[in-house]
Amino acid sequence: MPSKNKARLPQALVPCLTPCLALALTSAWAQTAPTPQPAPAAQAPAGAASAPRPRPAATPAPAPAPASANPSQRIEITGGRENDTTQRRQATASKIVIGREEIDKFGDATVGEVLRRLPGVTTPGAPGRGGPPRMRGLGGGFTQLLIDGQRVPPGFSLESLTPEQVERIEILRAPTAETGARAIAGTINIITREGFRRRLNDVRIGFGVEDGEVSPGVNWTHNDAAGELVYNLSGSVFERRNNNRSESRTTVENAATGALLEDRSTRSSTTDKRLGGNFSGRLQWRLGEGTGDMLALAPTIFHASGKSSSQYTLTQGLRRPGRAVLYDFGNTSSETSFTNARLNAQWRQRLGAVRAELNGGGGVFRSENDSLRSDFNTGGTTAARTLVDTGRTKQTNIDLKLKFSGLTGGKPEGGGEHSLVGGLDVDASRRSEARSSLQNGAPVLSDFGDDLKASSLRLAAFAQDEWTINPNWSAHAGLRWEGITTKGDSAGAAGAFRPTNRSSVWTPLLHAVWKPDPKGRDQVRMSLTRSYRSPDLGNLIARPTINRDYDPDTGSNIETAPDRAGNPDLKPELATGIDIALERYLESGGVLSANLFHRQISNLMRGATRLETVSWSPFPRYVRRMQNIGDATTSGLELEAKFRLDQLITGATPVEVRANLSVFDSKVKAVPGPDNRLDQQSKATANFGADYRLRSMPLTLGGNVNWVPETTTRIEADQTVTVSSKQVWDAYALWTFNPNVGLRLLGSNLNPRDFSTSTANDSVVAGVTERTRTRSTGPSDINWQLRLELKL
């Protein structure tokens, strides 16, 4: 069904983005750049993915000066670490580095809000709302998310991480042996602050306003040193208030005649309120002057609780003869709480020519959910149906990573230097769920038991070699083996339910960089990799979840409203990929790049709906499970430009410009075309932004527009999903009263647009093909944030 927000590049973006990329790519390559001076070497922080090639250690930096007797004096110690562009340029495996300046630029409340503006990254859901990040339009396990080079712990939420805690963000378009190969679309590595670069005691106090709801928040960051101890502390407290409204209409018609068989519409409004707090710290002891040896402890705790209430109505304009009335109106109330606590430890020690590094951690998260749904019929004061759900989840996790690294080789004339890395990973987790579902006071799915336990064990071994072949060529080769065992255990009246899934994957990886002129600014990157996506716990061993609109005791459901269940026989997806990139680094720090990628995927996992004879109903039910359905491909082109305008146009205003455009395509062989794309992969995404600091007053202005086109995906031969286009306009203004006091105003989603999702499905009922269409729409709102920034 066509959308009023038709997918095409917005007119306001066309005159900005296209000429900007074209001008940058043509003008910059036409310049004759002077020979750059060698950049100072720097040691990559622990966990940094695809670090620059190591060089001989520089003279150790002097120890920090003693704190001033004047407590209000702010001391900054800088230098010794490469800037973002230099790190990107020197890495053999392709990566984009986003530093502190860009992370802080808009004054976002969470890291999730920062990610949605990064090159090639999209977030699902309504405009302006954050969500799980997707690279190259792919989420759900295609994109790997790391914190300091380690996979995020169970239960992690981007809402628990504030921009103040982050030193930089690395986007890796191809996997490496060290960072892991569960990254078909790519890897986002969030590096938290470590070490002592500057003494900080910053407080940021602010609030946001959206649809009349006020959401206050306070953030605090403190970095300092005491002798051999360097510590970084941060904390935040927030309250989030949101209103959500949506409308949905479902029609069923005879596909041959067009005769309408069913027509129903729902409207709902929901109010959410969340209160939460986060504290994290890093205590780092230097174990030797200038050696890099250290011991660090990093505790974190995040807690949030929330309440929500919804009111909804159902209008059945046309109901089939004999079909029961579902309900006319109702309400839902729910309460949730979530706690995640973790302690990480890191030890680095030089053992002769080899450096050993041990990373380990343990954590626990708990969640509680209670909800009550009451459905009423017109004129009724007593609920025709009540649904009570309670859930308790606990998951513990322990992980350990042992890594050895060292340098070897090297020629006096340059080249031949090898940086070797090898190691082992162990990750074990255990999850327990207690769930109770009551309909009108009677248990639902009691045959499967109310308790479910699951465990997973992941083992990995890796080795990689990064070396400089000669001044023109550098290479990076790696091999990784990874095995995962997942077990479930649930007992009920139907008997024991103990699914087990085992898988293992070998992933060879090769990257290379070619510089036509070793002293020039152009280079070509090439990657040939193997990566994979493993089934998640829920898709493997999930107990059945019933669609509550169709009571299993009284009848069947429809194909567009299936029940859901797990599939313990899933196999991991495997992908062979190639990436080729052309990069030019501008004299004053800008960069222009064009990247082509292709992935050949086998054992693709996708949800499939089938009519099954089930144990939880005397009637056949449509059930949706993940299945391995065959092969698929995805390809794309990614363009990026970052520069200052006066670099390209003499005498122009020094406006910082950033622009990127990514175009994606994919084909699933088991599904006929058109639109047989990977699940909800967007066709493209683009960003255009600019920043300028006024010379006549202490004011900095900036803005960004993000665009994602409307995308239709054919899930199965008879089912399509269409997601409307998104345009998100953001702008900020920062007034600097003095070096220690600033006031920042951020407007997000300044051009609010309705967001819609449409599905169309054909099914055969009693020999007649019926077409079911559902369209859900909801408005979006402008979000304003005002924040006072203090450097104490």
Query: What's the rounded Cα separation, in Å, for the pair 686 and 678?
Result: 19
In a domain, 64, yes or no: no
Query: What's the rounded Cα separation, in Å, for the pair 124 and 130?
Result: 8
Assign 450 a pLDDT band (cuts: 50, 70, 90): low
pLDDT tens digits for 539-593? 887 778 888 778 787 788 877 788 988 888 899 999 999 999 999 999 878 999 9
Cβ neighbours around 566 below 10 Å, total: 23
Q: Is 607 helix (H, G, I), strand (E, B) or coil?
A: strand
In a domain, 647, yes or no: yes
In a domain, 667, yes or no: yes
Task: List, in order, residues 6 or more apart from 737 with CB less than 8 Å away.
Answer: 698, 743
Quick check: 337 and 304 in contact, CB under 8 A? yes
What is the mean pLDDT of the segment spanning 94-117? 90
What is the mean pLDDT of the segment spanning 356-360? 95
Closest CA to 603 of 625, 624, 627, 623: 627
In a domain, 63, yes or no: no
Residue 742 has pLDDT above 80, yes or no: yes
Assign 497 a pLDDT band (cuts: 50, 70, 90): low
Q: What CATH number is associated with residue 108?
A: 2.40.170.20
Assign 446 a pLDDT band (cuts: 50, 70, 90): low
The residue whose two tokens read 């900020």 is 732
In a domain, 271, yes or no: yes
pLDDT tens digits for 631-675? 999 999 999 999 999 888 888 999 999 999 999 999 999 999 899
In a domain, 9, yes or no: no
Query: What's the rounded Cα separation, in Å, for the pair 544 and 70?
Result: 64
The rounded percent of the chain whose pLDDT value lies above 70 is 87
What is the mean pLDDT of the segment spanning 41-67? 38
Quick check: 258 and 267 in contact, CB under 8 A? no
In a domain, 306, yes or no: yes
Cβ neighbours around 255 below 10 Å, total: 16
Output the pLDDT for position 55. 38
Output the pLDDT for position 414. 64
Output the pLDDT for position 428. 96
Assign 493 a pLDDT band (cuts: 50, 70, 90): very low
The rounded percent of the chain whose pLDDT value lies above 90 is 61
pLDDT tens digits for 151-180? 887 777 787 888 988 999 999 999 999 999
In a domain, 156, yes or no: yes
pLDDT tens digits for 25-43? 444 444 433 334 443 333 3
Containing domain of residue 695, as a range?
14-57+73-791
What is the mean pLDDT of the segment spanning 765-778? 89
Task: Domain count for the chain, please give it.
Answer: 1
